[in-house]
Structure 1
């Protein structure tokens, strides 16, 4: 069994600081500006939530790609979440993950797409939440910039 400790200390107004005894940096967090007395320019719980799903996608992809011997040139991913009022309560109703993977010419785009799809399904954070996650991968072949959606 593994455990991860994160501590939070209120610092005033609508802010706090996250820390962990095993990590060197603290993260300032606050109520987002969309809510009463929210603060701009500071990580919110919503940012951290969607970041945990996105970073889990990356770490799971790296593991599966290595085990599958998939070579890739680069990986980056944009993630967003939608917050809606449902039954009188704010909730995150959807997370959209848009990974962009560049592979060498020697690799197959369909295989890279399959591996990123496996990664999303295997992510422990994604599997722990009830929020709908929509994966919209883009696979590019190095130097040719062919999108997977443009292939026959």
Structure 2
């Protein structure tokens, strides 16, 4: 693994000018496009609660997905190193955000990964590696609120 400083670049292009720019809070769209190099574009908007398009990804969705995906990638890495064969992984994560006039912020994220491992592998070790993944997760280490992990480990049927 490469150590040191890593830089990431994205471009966020606002596409919500409906003719009069930001002439009023209700006069512009929240739609935007997120780009990074040659990767597929992401159609973004605000959460529908904030006058956005519910069919598009919003920053809160993307943030929660980042926390979940970072944990997953570390977990898979650690399992591979430890000889635990993960056959399936699904996290149905939940984030709680406080919206207040003073300061809106996330107050908690709960990861709920459901992991299927090879029959006969060490289930206790598979569960313990979630703790290590959490300690190593770059995104979780960058937030100022609790990230809880409530994993379920199952053996494959065959």
**TM-score category, normalised to shorter length:** 0.7 to 0.9
Q: Report the structure, 1 or 2, having the larger strand content.
A: 1
Distance in 1, Cα, partners of 2:92 & 2:119: 24
Alignment of 1:1-152 (within 5 A): 1-12=5-16, 13-21=29-37, 23-35=38-50, 37-85=51-99, 88-143=102-157
The unaligned stretches of length 5 or more in structure 2 are 17-28
TM-score (norm 2): 0.84
Check whether the contact 2:84–2:122 (CA below 8 A) recurs between aligned residues. no
Listed one character per residue, the Cα deviations across residues 22-59 of structure 1 (whole Å, up to 9, x for unaligned) are x3200011110112x22211100000100000110111
Listed one character per residue, the Cα deviations across residues 72-92 of structure 1 (whole Å, up to 9, x for unaligned) are 221111111111145732211
| CA displacement at 1:101 relative to structure 2 | 0.7
Larger radius of gyration: 2
User: Hey, what does 1:148 align to over in structure 2?
Assistant: none
Give the CA RMSD over aligned residues: 1.5
Secondary structure, aligned partner of 1:75: strand
TM-score (norm 1): 0.87
